[in-house]
Amino acid sequence: MAWCGPHPFLPVPVARLMGAMNVMNESLNTADTMIRRTSPEVLAPAGNLKSFKAAIDFGADAVYCSGKMFGMRSAPKNLSLEEIAEARDYAHARGARIYITCNILPRNEEIEGIREYIGQLADIGVDAIIVTDIGVMMMAHRIAPNMELHVSTQAGVTNWLAANELHELGAKRVVLARELSLDTVRGIRANVPDDLDIEAFVHGSMCMAFSGRCLISNYLTGRDGNHGECAQPCRWKYHLVEEKRPGQYFPIEETDKGSYIFNSQDMCMLEHVGDVIGAGVTSLKIEGRAKSVYYISAMTNAYKCAVNLCMEADDPRNVELPDWLKAEPYKVSHRDYSTGFWYPEHKVTQNADRNGYYRDWVLVGETRGWENGRLTFMGHNKITPGQTVEILRPGQPPVRIESADDSFLDADGVPVAAAAYPTRTFSMACPEPVADGLMMRSPAPNRTLKAE
C-alpha cells in the first residue's frame, strides 16, 4: 500500500504529510507482517542492546537510546560505542534507524568530552543525535554535517516560531514539549516546512516539571535530573506541615498512607493514534528507556499495529482498534493512564494515593521451539494447569493457550504438575505453530503494585 498524493478527506497539513509518504520502505521483518515506513514513524526506546533489538523485531521504525555518557537516563545500562555500532547494523539491515541522545544540559567541563563523543557517533554512522543545548546542536552541525539533528523535548518547543528558527539552524526534527494540545500541534505543523519532522510523545511516564526540566532531585538528593540522574522525588510521599505547628501533619492525603501530590499519571494515546497522525505528527514516541524488554516489545508492537491500521484507512482519525490491541497497554506495568495534555478537556492528573505501577500480567517464559503440537519454552514464572498463557507476536494478536492438567513435560519428557522453575526447560500443548524467542505472559495471580 502506498499513498499517491494528498488525501481528499484530511486537512491540508496532513494531506501534505501523507503526500510526502511516497518515499516508503515497505520491507518486512521476520514476521512478514510489519510494514516499515519513513513516516509516520513509531519510535521506540531502548536501555540496552537486547531491548534495542527487541524493539526493531516488534516493528519500530526507529529506536532512540543513549551511550554511556551525556544522556538523560543514567539508570539503564545504556550502550557502549561497540554496542551502538552493532545496534546500527541491526537496525539498518532491517530498514530501521538509530538515534542517540546527547540531551543533558552540559557544564563547561563537559564540552570537550561532548565534542569527542559527537565525532565518535558520526564515525559510527548513527542516523541522528538528540540534543537540548543550542551550543551542542551547533557543534554537532559543524562536526557531523550529514548526521540529523533532533531537538529534544527538554528544549521546550511550544510554537511554530521556535520550530522554524531551530530548523534554520540545522534541526531536522523538533521533539515537541509534552504540554501541547492537538490543536496546538496542528497549528505548528501548518506553519513549518514540509521537511521539518515533528515528534511527539504518545505513551509512557510523564514528568511533573515542564518538559522534564526539573531541579527537585538535585536539590533533595544531589542527583541531577538534567544529567540523567533523577531520583524521581516527584513519586515520593509528602505531607503538609504549617510553620507554627511543627510535627502536625495536615490532611491533604487521599488516603491515610499519605499523598503523592506530584506523582503524574502515565500517558496512553493508543486509541487516539489517528488523531495524532491527523495533527501532522511524523514520529510517535514511546517513553521508557529504563523499561523491561517485555514492556518495550509489547508497546512497540501495539503502536506499530495501530499506526498500520490507521494508514490503511481512508481517514486515520476514524479507526476503531480491535479489542485485543486496546488491551495491550494494560498487560504491561503501568500507572493509571491519561491522554496527557493532548485534549484540554481531559487533562492529566496525579496518582495521589500511590507511587507504584500496576502489574496485572507477568512474564512466564520464552519460546524455544514448536513441534507436533507441543511448545518448548524456558520458564520465567510459574505456570499451573488451567492458567491462561499468551505468546506475544510481532504484528499480530497474541497466541492464546489454556494449559491443561496433563500439559506439562520437563526437559526429559517426564510429566510434571506445573512449569514451576525459572530458567528450566519445559514443554506444553500448543495447537498453533509459533516462532522461537517469543515472550510468554500470563495474568498475575494477584494484582501487584510495585516499581517496574
Confidence band for 27, pLDDT divided at 50, 70 and 90: very low
List the grid coordinates of 42.
513509531
What pLDDT score does 348 carry?
Answer: 59
Task: Look at residues 294, 329, 353 and tell me which one is the last residue of a structural domain.
Answer: 353
Task: Look at residues 290, 319, 353 and tell me which one is the last residue of a structural domain.
Answer: 353
Is residue 193, in this structure, part of any structural domain at all? yes
Type of residue at 150:
H
Which has more pLDDT, 297 or 36?
297
Is residue 200, in this structure, part of any structural domain at all? yes
Both 372 and 342 in one domain: the answer is no
What pLDDT score does 195 carry?
Answer: 95
Both 375 and 342 in one domain: the answer is no
What pLDDT score does 299 carry?
Answer: 97
Bridge pairing between strands 409-410 and 425-429: antiparallel
Is residue 256, in this structure, part of any structural domain at all? no
Both 348 and 365 in one domain: the answer is no
Encode 97-110: b = buried (16+ Cβ within 10 Å), e = exposed.
Answer: bbbbbbbbebeeeb
Both 88 and 169 in one domain: the answer is yes
124 Rama sector, left if φ>0, alpha if ψ -120 to 50, beta otherwise = alpha
How much is the mean pLDDT over the chain?
83
Both 287 and 185 in one domain: the answer is yes
Residue 399: CA count within 13 A, CB half-sphere: 17
Is residue 13, in this structure, part of any structural domain at all? no
Task: Look at residues 329, 353, 377 and tell me which one is the last residue of a structural domain.
Answer: 353
Region 25-37 average pLDDT: 41
Both 241 and 170 in one domain: the answer is no
Give the span between the Cα atoms of 184 and 361, in whole angstroms.
36
What pLDDT score does 351 carry?
Answer: 53
Helices 182-190 & 160-168 angle (0-180, nearest 10) = 40
How many structural domains does the chain have?
A: 3
**Nearest one of 200, 392, 382 to 293, comparing CA atoms:** 392
Type of residue at 393:
R
Q: pTM for this structure?
A: 0.82
Tell me the pLDDT tens digit for each residue of 35-92: 444 569 999 999 999 999 999 999 999 999 999 877 555 555 789 999 999 999 999 9
Both 142 and 288 in one domain: the answer is yes
Region 174-201 average pLDDT: 96
Which has more pLDDT, 188 or 5?
188
Give the span between the Cα atoms of 420 and 443, in whole angstroms.
15
User: How remote is the C-alpha of 161 from its chain's centroid?
Assistant: 28
For residue 185, the domain's CATH number is: 3.20.20.70
Window from 50-54, 152-156, 176-180, 225-229 with minimum mean pLDDT = 225-229
From the number of C-beta atoms within 10 Å of its C-beta (0-12, 13-18, 19+), residue 201 rates as: buried
Give the span between the Cα atoms of 341 and 122, in whole angstroms.
35
Region 262-271 average pLDDT: 84
What pLDDT score does 20 carry?
Answer: 39
Is residue 11, in this structure, part of any structural domain at all? no
Both 332 and 396 in one domain: the answer is no
Is residue 395, in this structure, part of any structural domain at all? yes
Window from 196-205, 363-372, 400-409, 426-435 with minimum mean pLDDT = 400-409
Tell me the pLDDT tens digit for each residue of 94-119: 999 999 999 888 889 999 999 999 99
Encode 304-313: b = buried (16+ Cβ within 10 Å), e = exposed.
Answer: bbbbbbbbee
Helices 12-19 & 182-190 angle (0-180, nearest 10) = 60
Is residue 9, in this structure, part of any structural domain at all? no
Give the three-class secondary structure for 26.
coil
Both 228 and 97 in one domain: the answer is no
Give the span between the Cα atoms of 192 and 190, in whole angstroms.
6
Q: Which domain holds residue 96?
A: 36-206+264-353
Both 308 and 396 in one domain: the answer is no
Region 254-269 average pLDDT: 65
Both 342 and 363 in one domain: the answer is no
Query: What is the distance in angstroms between the CA of the first residue and the CA of the last residue of the chain?
Result: 38
Cα dihedral across residues 443, 297, 173, 132: positive or negative: positive
List the grid coordinates of 418.
506445573
Window from 168-177, 210-219, 378-387 with minimum mean pLDDT = 210-219
Residues present in the chain in total: 452
Tell the residue number behind the cell numbers 481517514, with chain if given: 315
Is residue 79, in this structure, part of any structural domain at all? yes
Both 110 and 176 in one domain: the answer is yes
Residues 342 and 275 sit within 8 Å (Cβ to Cβ): yes
Confidence band for 262, pLDDT divided at 50, 70 and 90: low
